[in-house]
Amino acid sequence: MGFIFKIRYNAKHFLPFLGLFTPLLLSCESDSYDKGEGRYSLMRADMADITVDSRQQAVSFVTDDDDSYQLVNPFTAKWIQTADTTYRTIIYYNKVDDRSAEVVSAGTVVTLNPMPHWRLKEQPQDPVGFESAWIGKNRRYLNIGLLVKTGRISDEELPHLVGLARDTVVEHANGSHTAHYRLLHGQNGIPQYYTNRRYVSILLPQPLPDTIHLSLNTFDGTIHRTFVP
C-alpha cells in the first residue's frame, strides 16, 4: 500500500514535516478511473483520527464530521510507531457500508497545540502559501491547507518547522472571548524549487473560545482569518 506522505515528529513545540512528497493518486490514470467505474471512482478524502490497536495496525477512524468506520483492510505503516493510540491523518477511502470502509491511502497530519508566545524561544515566520482553513463539524480541530516551497540540496530530506503561538486571549465587553493564534514556519534552509501542499491541524482548546483569530505570514504578506467554532 502506498501512503500520501510521511511526517517525522519530535517532542519539541515545533513539529517537522518532510519537504518533498509524491501524491499517490495524482498520477493515477486508467480507463476505469476516467469512466467512473474503478476502485477510485467513489473515493472520499477526509481529515480523521485513526485508531491503532495493540499490534500497531490501524483498525478504525472517525472523520471530522463524526462519521465512524471500521477498516475492512487494517494496515500498518512506518509512521505508526506506537500501539494502542490515535493518529491524526488525512485518509482516502471507499465506503463499504455505513459502518465500514476500505482505505486506499493515508498519511499523518501534523497536529499543533497553541503555546503561549512567551514560552517559545524561537518564533520563525518564514513565508508560506495559504490555501484554505476550516473547522470540522465536530469542532475539535482547525485545519489549514498550506503550500510550501520545497527542494533538495542533498539526499537528505530536511524538515520544514511549524508551530503555533497563542499571542493573547481577549475578553470583550459582552463577555465573549477571542483567542489570537499565529502560525510559525521555519524554511530550515530548504531550497524553494517546487510548491507542494501540506495540511496541519490545530487542536482546539476546551472550553472553546467564542472566536479564533489566526494570522500567518505568506508570500503575499501577513493574512488574518477569523473563525467561529
Q: What is the CATH number of the domain that holds 219?
A: 2.60.40.2370
Write down which residue in 72, 94, 109 finishes a domain: 109
Same domain, 176 and 188: yes
Closest to 130 in 3D by CA, of 47, 213, 198: 198
Instruction: Answer whether residue 147 is part of any domain.
Output: yes
Same domain, 125 and 175: yes
Write down which residue in 109, 143, 167 finishes a domain: 109
Output the nine-digit C-alpha cell for 150: 520545497
**What is the residue range of 197's domain?**
111-227
Same domain, 105 and 121: no
Same domain, 132 and 165: yes
Beta bridge partners of 18: 159
Decide: 93 and 43 in contact? Cβ < 8 Å. Answer: yes
Beta bridge partners of 141: 203
Instruction: Answer whether residue 10 is part of any domain.
Output: no
Instruction: Answer whether residue 175 is part of any domain.
Output: yes
CB-based burial of residue 34 (10 Å sphere; 0-12 exposed, 13-18 middle, 19+ buried)? exposed
Decide: 160 and 88 in contact? Cβ < 8 Å. Answer: no
Same domain, 83 and 136: no
Same domain, 81 and 185: no
Same domain, 131 and 210: yes
In order along its 229 residues, the chain shows pLDDT tens digits of 322 222 333 333 555 543 332 222 222 222 333 334 455 557 999 999 999 999 999 999 999 999 999 999 999 998 899 999 999 999 999 999 999 999 999 988 989 999 999 988 889 999 999 999 999 999 999 999 999 898 877 766 678 888 999 999 999 999 999 999 999 999 888 889 888 888 999 999 999 999 999 999 999 999 999 999 9
Closest to 148 in 3D by CA, of 165, 124, 127: 127
Q: Which residues contact 196 (CB under 8 A, 6 or more apart)?
A: 19, 20, 21, 147, 148, 150
Write down which residue in 85, 109, 133 finishes a domain: 109
The alpha-carbon radius of gyration of the chain (Å, integer) is 19
Amino acid letter, 204: L
Whether the full predicted model's pTM is greater than 0.75, yes or no, is yes
Output the nine-digit C-alpha cell for 86: 490515535
DSSP code for 76: -
Domain count, the chain: 2
